[in-house]
Amino acid sequence: MQPPDELMAGLFLPAMRQLVAAELRSRGLSQTRIASLLGVTQASVSQYLNSDRTRAYGMLAELRVARAAADQTSRELADSLQSDPVEGVRALNRIWTGLLGAGSVCPAHRAMYPSLGDCEFCIEEYGKRPQEVSDAISEVAAAARLLERSPEFIQVIPEVSVNVACIAGDATTPAEVVAIPGRIVKVKDRAKAMLPPEAGASVHMSKILLLVRKRRKEFRAVINLRYDHKMASVLGASGRRALRIGERARREGEDPTARALELALRKNPGPFDVVVDVGGSGIEPNVYVFAGGAREAARLAIRLAKSYSAA
């Protein structure tokens, strides 16, 4: 038996553990806490942090993972682990099976086992996507292109960057919600999506969208934007009805914004089109704009950006 899982255990997992350990340390977590999140000993974490990361990047390069993509993946995994250890497992599995489905692991696997020269099992098995997921991916990709072409949109990108999330079919879990890994960021004078859309790419945005859909089934997509006094005026002039959430108690391992939204929804609020998070300790104010689809969310965001720029 010659499974590609040997490469997961021998190359991908050790390299990602080192990079994720470094990312979590940069966020101020202790070595003990990092060890708990990664499922390794504190001594292993110390070794990860004191070792040159060149070897980790080299191991990932054997799997066709470039350094920039490796850094982005480590941030994504760190986000997932801090949100919920189970989400960390889901994210790790999604990323690995994505590499298998894309054929990235094949050269290294065939080098280990030349007899597998004609094997395309992983591409056939993991490269398949349900039609609903493919449609949502296409929709988010189209939304990202609209945002990238807008000269005004950069004005409403918050410091935490932007993401667009879209429901695939009747999704009920974050793994079934399509978003952009690494978000949409500022690059010179334009917005730029870091990577192509994927299912399960943003646990945070997925939670926000899934919570709101319990009240408003017609909403299939969400985008986050900058929120300040100017944006408040723009939203008011546009007739958007807001549900406001603000300072909240923070619990380790919990998404504080999603928790605050869940509590606000329990109070049976009136009709709303956007969720305004006025922020708090360590949380940047954002507005979450909902729409019937990702393209519609992008177009609405661009209209708001134009009004914001003109204000």
**Domains along the chain with CATH numbers:** 5-126 (no CATH), 131-310 (3.40.225.10)
- Token output for 311: 């204000």
Q: Residue 231, by phi and psi: left (phi above 0), alpha (psi -120 to 50) or beta?
A: alpha
Q: What is the pTM of this model?
A: 0.64
Q: Which residues pair with 167 in a beta bridge?
A: 177
- Token output for 92: 């790790």
pLDDT per position as a tens digit, 65-104: 989 889 989 998 998 888 778 778 888 888 898 889 888 8
Q: Which residues pair with 276 in a beta bridge?
A: 244, 287
- Predicted local confidence at residue 87, as pLDDT: 77
For residue 150, which phi and psi values (nearest 5 degrees)?
A: -85, 120
Contacts of 109 (CB under 8 A, 6+ apart): 2, 4, 7, 116, 119, 122
Contact 214, 265 (CB under 8 A): yes
How many angstroms separate the CA atoms of 258 and 58, rounded?
Answer: 37
For 29, other C-beta atoms within 10 Å of its C-beta total 19
The amino acid present at 182, given as its one-letter code, is: G
Contacts of 70 (CB under 8 A, 6+ apart): 15, 16, 19, 56, 57, 60
For 96, other C-beta atoms within 10 Å of its C-beta total 20
- Predicted local confidence at residue 247, as pLDDT: 64
Q: How confident is the model at residue 133 (pLDDT cuts 50, 70, 90)?
A: confident
Q: Please, what's the b/e burial string for 103-134 (b: 16 or more CB within 10 A of its CB; e: otherwise)?
A: ebbbebbeeeeeeeeeeeebbeebeeeeebbe
Strand locations in the chain (E): 164-167, 177-179, 184-187, 190-193, 198-199, 221-226, 242-245, 274-277, 286-291
pLDDT per position as a tens digit, 153-209: 999 999 999 999 999 888 888 888 999 998 999 998 899 998 888 888 898 999 999
Q: Which residues pair with 274 in a beta bridge?
A: 242, 289
